[in-house]
Structure 1
């Protein structure tokens, strides 16, 4: 008989998960107390708590203050249908609606369901800020200079060390520090494309990536995308055979806005297809650290034996959006990346890099991430329950296993561009679906951000938005 190499708390967590899958423990029911579990399984309270924390990270249990642990409720709404964009490249236009959404999303007068930016109150960045202040106080004059184009070595070393945890072998010299992930995407695209080229993207996809394509005068080819598993390798294969594609931009996991993650087998199939056609992959992994399961999904670059992948990451979604620190990594494309970096911004600010390097080296980041994952998992669960209660019949909702955004597919009668204007009048901001498509699709969809956590204001705003959507749908049915 093979020896079970799992830790005791992992085996205990799997036992509880099996009871949930079998229906012995029903959604919404209170989980057995830690004391009862420890006594029945002849283990310690510490082990039982570790098991419950692991199940909480996986979204199987939820902790309620002063009440204990409960079995998480499954979403009462179905997932969005797989998307079917047209198979022709599209020139990306500047979206006035996107600019309006960004302007109102930063206004504290509006219920913050718009921008996918974590609230400063949740990030608890006091330790990081103190490190920045100390670096400025003690060595401010010495660091008041240009960083090397690659960025500060101390930060690049820490990023490379973290990448080893999920099997990604990065050398510090393969990494270029950037002004957030948006610059990382821009440098990567500049390194492998020319104006007029076509770039394959998920559909829907992050509107910031679309605007980078527009700025570089590139066309977007939107690929059919499933809300659970991302793009299908067969769809990518058909696109590669049909027309020249200069690059492919995909999320490593927890796509923004769908929240989908490709199975590892599909990732390997995608890499094989791109290697066959000699098309570089640019992967966006800004949400990878916000996984609700026990394991962080491996990015494409950790599976890529061909070296065609350009990896883009950032701390903006997990720790310090105001520091604007991201990175791009690739050994094969490094010379072109450095050329693009030199031409774009020359170098990143020194002091934020050094503060981040010290924070990562201190070990505080992992504790911070564990707290953030539990918080966002709980927020998305509560938001999904609120949507099921308040939004009109026929609404579909994504079921992400990480990140902090939800994608809603409303009845076809609802135009979320009109709903956006109505919501602003009520003091609510969200992201209309049309901004996530170069071809202007998804007018009946929207994205909600849970980056500010769950509170009474968010709950009331979600109820009011659902009521507005229901009234809109009813009025359209009456008119028809």
Structure 2
């Protein structure tokens, strides 16, 4: 079927035709992938060949390919062409969009989070539970050498309290990297933190007070919920689509109904759903927040783990991002044990620095020095190219294992980055009961209810693909799927 036939069929069915030829071609390619004609990892015809076959311009074909690349459907390989993304699922539907919850909730989740993290750190369990990358995948030996060298050569110099803002060289290197995503950032705009958790904690405490309401996507990262609980903040859970992100129109109605102190979002490959909002939707959200004077706290910790050619653009780099507090870290991409994160708080800089002094005074100096050396050497970019390939392959293995082992009605996310999958089982399923049974078999995962302040998503779970794929992990997924199948039938 060519694009002309596709358009005629849409008209015959009474549907509105796609406004642009490249969108029609993109739709045709997706249909071809969904019906199995193009398999994951398979190379697409060349741009010139498609142009001649469909009678359209080369630029139109490129637009279609780039659109699908941005959506994570295709992957561009230099000097080779475009390929179907390896993580593309062929048999299971995407998770459902979450439903609107019109009232803010208090949070009581700390006990469940503490118990999950204790199990997730147990090396005796199959590690599907915690979204922390395996040291064997990170291979941070070169960074460790930089740390040892700094300690050996200038240990006395670095065994001191640093400034609250952090090491100047590291802040300079972070600022230089921000230029790659189209954001002009000065070293003075950056504050180094103890991981991204301290970064968004500082941000929340700078813009909100106990009893205030914070809007979050739903499902959302349980670490956000734990911090919101400790700070005495309420949570407004926003309906979220696995492709488009939060439902902006519903959010607008909620903002008209009552005050919101801030919006806290993971901007790239959100945890756990894996969604990256398209740039157009990001701009819509920024405009909405600007109209209501609501600051955005952006967690971009997964942004560097992208499988498409280009890194997703963070909110802070888009028009309208001036009222954004940007948070990130190296914990997911390089060195979780170093606990080095950062925040670019914009106009809230003084409030953030004051709270940094009160909470932790400063961050450890030596890890910052080592990271600055590592970044300046150019080694980080080579490291990330290798890590992205490994994690994309891991997600492909995990997706196939889920498709082969879980009930046929299962739905699964298809993120274009990161290393976690959101798995939705039929309504009425109890992932808490599955969690208890899985622990007895030596398997750990994250049950869905910890990703919601109102303890929704009981029929969902998050599985991590951050560890080197092995027979042990594959067998763990298979046994987990069998457990889910038995529970579903009972």
Question: TM-score range, shorter-chain basis?
Answer: 0.7 to 0.9
- What are the residue-to-residue correspondences of 1:132-281 with 2, within 5 Å? 132-281=147-296
- Aligned residues of 2:110 and 2:229 also touching (Cα < 8 A): no
Q: How many residues align?
A: 440
C-alpha displacement of 1:98: 2.1
- Aligned residues of 1:409 and 1:446 also touching (Cα < 8 A): yes
- Superposed CA offset, 1:249-297 (max 9, x none): 0111111000001110111111111111111000000000001101111
- What are the residue-to-residue correspondences of 1:278-357 with 2, within 5 Å? 278-305=293-320, 307-357=322-372
For 1:27, the equivalent position in structure 2 comes to 38
2:465 aligned with 1:450, yes or no?
A: yes
Q: Secondary structure at the match of 2:445?
A: strand
Q: Secondary structure at the match of 2:124?
A: coil
For 2:59, the equivalent position in structure 1 comes to none
2:384 aligned with 1:373, yes or no?
A: no
- Aligned residues of 1:59 and 1:292 also touching (Cα < 8 A): no
TM-score (normalised: structure 2):
0.85
- Superposed CA offset, 1:28-86 (max 9, x none): 488579xx99xx9xxxxxxxxxxxxxx9x9664799xxxxx998453310001100142
Cα distance in 1, alignment partners of residues 94 and 468 from structure 2: 22
- Superposed CA offset, 1:114-140 (max 9, x none): 000000000010000000000000000
For 2:412, the equivalent position in structure 1 comes to 397
Cα distance in 2, alignment partners of residues 440 and 118 from structure 1: 26
C-alpha displacement of 1:169: 1.5
Question: Which sits farther off after the overlay, 406-415 or 194-203?
Answer: 406-415
2:94 aligned with 1:94, yes or no?
A: no
Cα distance in 2, alignment partners of residues 61 and 454 from structure 1: 21
- Aligned residues of 2:107 and 2:453 also touching (Cα < 8 A): yes
Cα distance in 1, alignment partners of residues 85 and 238 from structure 2: 36
Corresponding residue to 1:412 among 424, 427, 434 = 427
For 1:472, the equivalent position in structure 2 comes to 487
Task: Provide the alpha-carbon RMSD of the alignment.
Answer: 2.7
Q: Secondary structure at the match of 1:332?
A: helix
Unaligned runs of 5+ in 2: 1-25, 50-68, 78-82
- Superposed CA offset, 1:78-128 (max 9, x none): 001100142111111034332221111111110000000000000010000
- Aligned residues of 1:59 and 1:377 also touching (Cα < 8 A): no
Q: Which segments of structure 1 move beyond 6 Å, counting only runs of 4 or more? A: 17-20
Cα distance in 2, alignment partners of residues 223 and 19 from structure 1: 32
Cα distance in 1, alignment partners of residues 114 and 416 from structure 2: 29
Change (3 A) 1:85 1:144: same
For 2:56, the equivalent position in structure 1 comes to none
- Aligned residues of 1:167 and 1:302 also touching (Cα < 8 A): yes
C-alpha displacement of 1:19: 11
Q: Secondary structure at the match of 1:224?
A: strand
- Superposed CA offset, 1:180-218 (max 9, x none): 000001000010001100000000000001111011100
2:446 aligned with 1:435, yes or no?
A: no
- Aligned residues of 2:401 and 2:477 also touching (Cα < 8 A): yes
For 2:439, the equivalent position in structure 1 comes to 424
- Aligned residues of 1:249 and 1:282 also touching (Cα < 8 A): yes
For 1:113, the equivalent position in structure 2 comes to 128
- Aligned residues of 2:92 and 2:408 also touching (Cα < 8 A): no
Unaligned runs of 5+ in 1: 1-16, 41-54, 64-68, 476-480
- Aligned residues of 1:247 and 1:279 also touching (Cα < 8 A): yes
- Superposed CA offset, 1:378-406 (max 9, x none): 11111111111111121100111110000
C-alpha displacement of 1:304: 4.1
Q: Secondary structure at the match of 2:328?
A: strand
C-alpha displacement of 1:347: 0.2
Change (3 A) 1:276 1:60: closer
For 1:130, the equivalent position in structure 2 comes to 145
- Aligned residues of 2:127 and 2:443 also touching (Cα < 8 A): yes
For 1:478, the equivalent position in structure 2 comes to none
- Aligned residues of 2:113 and 2:226 also touching (Cα < 8 A): no
C-alpha displacement of 1:21: 5.8
Cα distance in 2, alignment partners of residues 32 and 395 from structure 1: 28
Change (3 A) 1:471 1:356: same
Corresponding residue to 2:377 among 331, 354, 362 = 362
TM-score (normalised: structure 1):
0.87
Cα distance in 2, alignment partners of residues 378 and 29 from structure 1: 11
Change (3 A) 1:124 1:29: closer
